[in-house]
Protein backbone atom coordinates (compact mmCIF):
# COMPACT_ATOMS: atom_id res chain seq x y z
CA UNK A 1 0.00 0.00 0.00
CA UNK A 2 1.27 3.48 -0.81
CA UNK A 3 1.86 5.94 2.02
CA UNK A 4 -0.60 8.82 1.94
CA UNK A 5 -0.62 12.09 3.85
CA UNK A 6 -4.43 12.35 3.97
CA UNK A 7 -6.65 10.58 6.50
CA UNK A 8 -10.38 10.42 7.14
CA UNK A 9 -11.84 13.49 8.96
CA UNK A 10 -8.90 15.73 7.92
CA UNK A 11 -9.60 19.27 6.79
CA UNK A 12 -8.03 19.61 3.33
CA UNK A 13 -7.39 22.37 0.79
CA UNK A 14 -7.84 21.68 -2.94
CA UNK A 15 -4.82 22.69 -5.05
CA UNK A 16 -6.14 22.18 -8.58
CA UNK A 17 -9.30 21.44 -10.49
CA UNK A 18 -12.68 23.09 -10.66
CA UNK A 19 -12.81 23.45 -6.85
CA UNK A 20 -9.33 24.99 -6.49
CA UNK A 21 -8.95 27.09 -3.33
CA UNK A 22 -11.82 25.47 -1.40
CA UNK A 23 -11.55 23.48 1.81
CA UNK A 24 -13.54 20.51 3.03
CA UNK A 25 -13.55 17.49 5.31
CA UNK A 26 -12.38 14.10 4.01
CA UNK A 27 -15.18 11.53 4.10
CA UNK A 28 -13.38 8.51 2.67
CA UNK A 29 -9.90 7.61 1.39
CA UNK A 30 -9.29 5.02 -1.34
CA UNK A 31 -5.69 3.85 -0.77
CA UNK A 32 -5.57 1.55 -3.79
CA UNK A 33 -6.56 4.36 -6.18
CA UNK A 34 -4.82 7.29 -4.37
CA UNK A 35 -8.10 9.19 -4.19
CA UNK A 36 -10.24 10.78 -1.50
CA UNK A 37 -13.85 11.93 -1.28
CA UNK A 38 -14.17 15.44 0.19
CA UNK A 39 -17.44 16.70 1.66
CA UNK A 40 -19.18 19.23 -0.60
CA UNK A 41 -16.45 19.32 -3.26
CA UNK A 42 -16.10 17.87 -6.78
CA UNK A 43 -19.84 17.34 -7.12
CA UNK A 44 -21.17 15.39 -10.08
CA UNK A 45 -24.75 14.78 -11.20
CA UNK A 46 -25.95 11.21 -10.68
CA UNK A 47 -29.00 10.24 -12.76
CA UNK A 48 -31.12 7.76 -10.80
CA UNK A 49 -34.26 5.82 -11.65
CA UNK A 50 -37.08 5.67 -9.12
CA UNK A 51 -37.14 2.47 -7.06
CA UNK A 52 -40.21 2.14 -4.82
CA UNK A 53 -38.82 -0.95 -3.04
CA UNK A 54 -35.84 1.02 -1.68
CA UNK A 55 -37.75 4.33 -1.32
CA UNK A 56 -35.47 6.01 -3.88
CA UNK A 57 -36.90 8.94 -5.77
CA UNK A 58 -35.75 9.34 -9.34
CA UNK A 59 -34.03 12.39 -10.75
CA UNK A 60 -30.68 14.12 -10.95
CA UNK A 61 -28.91 14.03 -7.58
CA UNK A 62 -25.63 15.77 -6.63
CA UNK A 63 -22.90 13.41 -5.42
CA UNK A 64 -19.27 13.88 -4.36
CA UNK A 65 -16.72 12.28 -6.67
CA UNK A 66 -13.20 11.23 -5.59
CA UNK A 67 -10.28 13.67 -6.00
CA UNK A 68 -6.68 12.55 -6.50
CA UNK A 69 -4.65 12.86 -3.30
CA UNK A 70 -1.88 14.82 -5.04
CA UNK A 71 -4.37 17.67 -5.49
CA UNK A 72 -5.04 17.95 -1.73
CA UNK A 73 -3.10 19.51 1.16
CA UNK A 74 -3.86 19.18 4.85
CA UNK A 75 -4.97 22.35 6.67
CA UNK A 76 -3.16 22.79 10.01
CA UNK A 77 -5.43 23.62 12.95
CA UNK A 78 -2.84 25.76 14.73
CA UNK A 79 -1.56 27.99 11.92
CA UNK A 80 -4.85 27.71 9.94
CA UNK A 81 -3.00 27.37 6.62
CA UNK A 82 -2.51 24.51 4.21
CA UNK A 83 0.94 23.03 4.50
CA UNK A 84 3.04 20.00 3.72
CA UNK A 85 3.03 17.02 6.05
CA UNK A 86 6.10 15.58 7.73
CA UNK A 87 6.58 12.43 9.80
CA UNK A 88 8.07 12.41 13.30
CA UNK A 89 8.65 9.49 15.64
CA UNK A 90 6.94 10.06 19.00
CA UNK A 91 8.33 9.09 22.42
CA UNK A 92 6.38 5.83 22.41
CA UNK A 93 7.88 4.84 19.03
CA UNK A 94 4.82 5.51 16.88
CA UNK A 95 4.92 7.73 13.81
CA UNK A 96 2.87 10.94 13.89
CA UNK A 97 2.13 13.53 11.21
CA UNK A 98 3.57 17.03 11.67
CA UNK A 99 2.82 20.38 10.01
CA UNK A 100 5.97 21.49 8.16
CA UNK A 101 5.40 25.21 8.75
CA UNK A 102 4.61 25.36 12.48
CA UNK A 103 5.89 21.89 13.61
CA UNK A 104 2.54 21.18 15.33
CA UNK A 105 1.23 17.59 15.53
CA UNK A 106 -1.63 16.84 13.13
CA UNK A 107 -2.54 13.53 14.79
CA UNK A 108 -4.16 13.98 18.18
- Do 63 and 32 fall into the same domain? yes
Per the structure, the complete domain to which residue 5 belongs is given by 1-75
- Do 48 and 9 fall into the same domain? yes
pLDDT for residue 3:
78
pTM: 0.84
- Do 21 and 67 fall into the same domain? yes
- Do 65 and 37 fall into the same domain? yes
- Do 1 and 34 fall into the same domain? yes
Q: From start to end of the chain, where are the E strands?
A: 11-14, 23-30, 35-38, 43-48, 59-64, 67-68, 72-75, 82-83, 85-89, 95-99
- Summarised one tens digit per residue, pLDDT across range 8-33 is 999 999 999 999 999 999 999 999 99
- Summarised one tens digit per residue, pLDDT across range 51-65 is 999 998 899 999 999
Amino acid sequence: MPRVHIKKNDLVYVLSGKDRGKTGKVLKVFLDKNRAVVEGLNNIHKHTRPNPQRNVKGGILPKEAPIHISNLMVVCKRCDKHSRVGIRVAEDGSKVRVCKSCKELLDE
